[in-house]
């Protein structure tokens, strides 16, 4: 089997696990606040996180090189996680994914002021078309926009922001620093808010939270293996397989049937995202390919962001000359 085929299979397994992980979140969300779900999923993931962090032998302290960027990135990661969990509890799975799939479009937009990216007309058109797809899903004026829709939009934006900051400072920050600060922030902030929303949990629900943490950890390892094995242009589009899992799981567990607008909007968003991925990959990967070089999965505070784990990892990117820019 070719490396690209292996990478694609690893990614498909990862996103199947993430989709199953989201079913548990939605199930628990019918009873508990997203704050409580995030807090305990992070708490139960600390043993797994400790194993990862112990592997970072890079000399240095836990003080960030770029404290202000680290602070705003940490805020973005915390907001992204709790917003995505909240959206999963309120919206159909397919609708939540359709909105979260706008993240690569937002990464492209944010790369302009933060990374100095030069975005040419074809990618601008793809971004505008993709955002129009989001409007098709939301149908403002024809359907009521709920807190769930707003949470999904906030998760996509804050997740894109956190990911693009990783692209900006990841080469200079220790992996352990990039991983630890958002995780501790999630634990502290959600722990402080827990007093206002806490409900006692039976052992089986705590077990479900443990499953969420383990699934996120395993899925993250599969995505790392995917990017280390295959080319980013092959691996990145595999995230859209989640819409198939969402459709099946929605029908099976939650009696959710995707409506026509969600299907059409999701197709538009996915098509524009794929265009951006393949456009960036045409000349190889450079520092100016923020979507291809971003490996984070939005809304998984129970495990550290995958982009962080890849900052010092081996991958198959083929750098361009420094003066080259993506179109």
The pLDDT assigned to 326 comes to: 35
Of 323, 35, 65, 76, the C-alpha closest to 170 is 65
List, in order, residues 6 or more apart from 76 with CB less than 8 Å away. Answer: 158, 159, 161, 162, 165
Buried/exposed code over 186-204 (b: 16+ C-beta within 10 A; e: otherwise):
bbebbeebeeeeeeebeee
Share of the chain above pLDDT 90, in %: 57
- C-alpha span between 68 and 72 (Å, rounded): 6
pLDDT confidence of 314, banded at 50, 70, 90? very low
> What is the number of alpha carbons within 13 Å of residue 320 lying toward its C-beta?
15
Buried/exposed code over 100-114 (b: 16+ C-beta within 10 A; e: otherwise):
bbbbbbbbbbbbeeb
Evaluate if residue 310 carries a pLDDT over 50.
Answer: yes
Buried/exposed code over 277-291 (b: 16+ C-beta within 10 A; e: otherwise):
bebbbeebbbbbbbb
Q: Which of 53-57, 89-93, 197-201, 267-271 has the lowest mean pLDDT?
A: 53-57
Backbone angle region of 114, left / alpha / beta, with phi > 0 → left and psi within -120 to 50 → alpha: alpha
Instruction: State pLDDT tens for residues 156-214.
Output: 999 999 989 988 888 888 878 888 888 899 999 999 999 999 999 999 999 999 999 99
Residue appearing with tokens 């995202």: 273
Evaluate if residue 315 carries a pLDDT over 50.
Answer: no
Of 87, 34, 25, the C-alpha closest to 198 is 34
The arithmetic mean of pLDDT across residues 223-247, rounded, is 91
The arithmetic mean of pLDDT across residues 131-141, rounded, is 89
The pLDDT assigned to 60 comes to: 74
- C-alpha span between 135 and 143 (Å, rounded): 11
DSSP 217-245: HHHHHHHHHHHHHS-HHHHGGGGGGHHHH
Return mean pLDDT, the chain.
86
Evaluate if residue 71 carries a pLDDT over 80.
Answer: yes
Q: Which residue has the higher pLDDT, 142 or 130?
A: 130
What are the C-alpha distances in Å from 298 to residues 57, 172, 303?
27, 23, 11
List, in order, residues 6 or more apart from 102 with CB less than 8 Å away. Answer: 130, 131, 133, 134, 153, 156, 269
Buried/exposed code over 226-263 (b: 16+ C-beta within 10 A; e: otherwise):
bbbbbbbbbbbbbbbbbbebbbebbeeeeebebeebbb
List, in order, residues 6 or more apart from 90 with CB less than 8 Å away. Answer: 29, 146, 147, 148, 151
Evaluate if residue 4 carries a pLDDT over 80.
Answer: yes
The pLDDT assigned to 311 comes to: 54
CA angle 279, 165, 233 (to 5 degrees): 25
Q: Which of 102-111, 256-265, 294-303 has the lowest mean pLDDT?
A: 294-303
The pLDDT assigned to 322 comes to: 36
Evaluate if residue 64 carries a pLDDT over 80.
Answer: yes
């Amino acid at each position: 089997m070719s490396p690209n085929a292996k990478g694609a299979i690893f990614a498909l397994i990862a996103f199947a696990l993430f989709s199953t992980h989201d079913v548990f979140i939605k199930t628990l969300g019918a009873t508990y606040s997203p704050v409580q779900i995030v807090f305990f999923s992070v708490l139960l993931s600390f043993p797994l996180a400790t194993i990862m962090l112990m592997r970072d032998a890079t000399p240095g302290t836990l003080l960030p090189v770029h404290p202000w960027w680290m602070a705003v990135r940490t805020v973005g990661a915390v907001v992204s996680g709790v917003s995505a969990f909240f959206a999963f509890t309120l919206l159909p799975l397919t609708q939540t994914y359709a909105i979260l799939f706008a993240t690569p479009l937002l990464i492209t937009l944010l790369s302009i002021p933060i990374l100095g990216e030069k975005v040419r007309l074809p990618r601008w058109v793809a971004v505008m078309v993709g955002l129009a797809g989001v409007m098709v899903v939301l149908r403002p004026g024809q359907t009521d926009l709920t807190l769930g829709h707003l949470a999904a939009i906030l998760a996509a934006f804050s997740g894109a922001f956190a990911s693009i900051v990783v692209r900006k400072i990841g080469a200079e920050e220790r992996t352990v620093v990039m991983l630890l600060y958002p995780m501790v922030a999630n634990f502290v902030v959600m722990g402080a808010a827990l007093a206002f929303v806490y409900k006692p949990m039976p052992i089986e629900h705590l077990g479900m939270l443990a499953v969420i943490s383990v699934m996120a950890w395993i899925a993250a390892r599969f995505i790392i293996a995917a990017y280390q094995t295959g080319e980013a242009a092959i691996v990145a589009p595999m995230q859209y397989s989640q819409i198939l899992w969402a459709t099946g799981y929605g029908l099976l567990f939650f009696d959710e049937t995707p409506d026509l607008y969600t299907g059409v909007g999701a197709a538009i968003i996915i098509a524009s995202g794929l265009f951006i991925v393949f456009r960036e990959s045409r000349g190889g990967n450079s520092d100016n390919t923020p979507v291809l070089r971003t490996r984070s999965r939005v809304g998984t505070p129970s495990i550290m962001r995958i982009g962080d784990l890849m900052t010092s990892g081996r991958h198959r990117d083929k750098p361009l000359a420094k003066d080259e820019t993506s179109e």
